[in-house]
Structure 1
Amino acid sequence: MEPTVLENRVPQVTADFWIIKLLAVTMGETAADYLAVNLGLGLTATSVIMASILVAALFTQFGQQRYVPWAYWLSVVLISVVGTLITDNLVDNFGVPLEVTTGIFTAALIGTFAMWYASEKTLSIHSIYTNRRETFYWLAILFTFALGTAAGDLVSERFGLGYGSAGVLFGMVIASLSLGYFFLGLNSILGFWLVYILTRPLGASFGDLLSQPKEFGGMGFGTIATSVGFLAAISLIVIYMTVTRKPETIEAYQQ
């Protein structure tokens, strides 16, 4: 049987991937705060609205059957907002402690990876070419955002490190993992997902540092200015990705 040449549905992991990922998660934090607090929608209404928009965006993303930068990164930005809101709802509306939410989403993420591997025998993001694999991929990403939000809030607020110090801490851990990958043979799949998780609290810490009032330890730029600034940067990078994109093809035997 001749192999079928397919396109990977998610982007290659390059420097611009991590830049836009960090921008997206930072915006997810500030945008969620803006919608729920500044616009006065509240967590529940904001969660319903953003979840509905996310579902529509994911339908669009799945419909592409390949990596299209604007569709993919729109889904990432929206899932970042929704992941933040899931954690915020559990903590603020249902009174679940941050320690518990961190444990819940850690277990959920491990369970997702276990089911993904049991079904597909791989966790690689370089062979996302079926709806089932892409479903596992986006489910894992949702839990990384929720987990990153919980862990970031736990470190910066409950442990009292503050936004800046927490951001530096997460940045140092990411740098250590990068050194482990490049020089010590850290497994590429494990390293990718660990860094993916940690960029969420890193971005959230710096998002809060920029947007929160000075009396709360922030720089006072506000959620509107911070969100718009990061959205503009994301849009420019997506345009660049669209212009320079080269398809990542896969040879697969279709049953």
Structure 2
Amino acid sequence: MTDTMMGVAERCNAAGTPVLELRGLTRTYHGPPPVQALRSADLTVEEGEYVAIIGPSGSGKSTLLNLLGLLDRPTEGRLFLDGLDTTVLSERDRTALRGRRIGFVFQAFHLLPHRTAVENVMMAQLYTDRRRRNERRDDAVAALQAVELGHRLAALPSTLSGGERQRVAIARALVNKPRLVLADEPTGNLDTVTAAKVLDLLDELVASGLTLMVITHDPTVAARAHRTVTIRDGDLTEEPPAEDAPHVA
């Protein structure tokens, strides 16, 4: 990221602006026929919020995830990350911003099979951190300890359970201390008991201050969030919290 962009982003943090803000965000795939996968979406996510995006297959979840993660550009509208308008940035600056400010957790884990747990977490630092290898390793170890895998640092993915592999993936998402973590169906490949443990971990991370957005089709996963936003045919609508829902401090 250029020095100018980094300076703007730091000032935005100090001003307490929302972590994420969508203004009229639209994504149209040109045909024929053209398909409007996301329609003029507005959404604000504050620091420390836990937001679930829920919708059926084909509703636009993947399109929205790619936009939120700065992997794709909108056709219209604006996407602000820490008050910075990402839609006007160069691809180089968007890539740098994504590496420093956004963590990703995927359904399929995406761990390198011939790298240990700690090495997989360190991989997230390669393109965003110029510190020495031993310093990067210290951060990776701390991230794995935070997800209760400090005893599995040298384990290869093939020797880890599904829940452990997802915890490594979460540690990888956390190691750069991102402003926002995006989780795409984080329990989709896990059994019910293991999924509940991973969701408990995400609850704990949010309680410690993490800003988290989970994209899911599972109402059980969405029920853990502070807010639920439904996407259907490219339209975002937010469901009001139930009157009898427990208060989240």
* Shared fold per TM-score greater than 0.5: no
Structure having the higher helix fraction is 1
Which structure ranks higher in relative contact order (CA pairs < 8 Å, sequence separation ≥ 6)? 1
* TM-score, with structure 1 as normaliser: 0.33
For normalisation by structure 2, the TM-score amounts to: 0.33
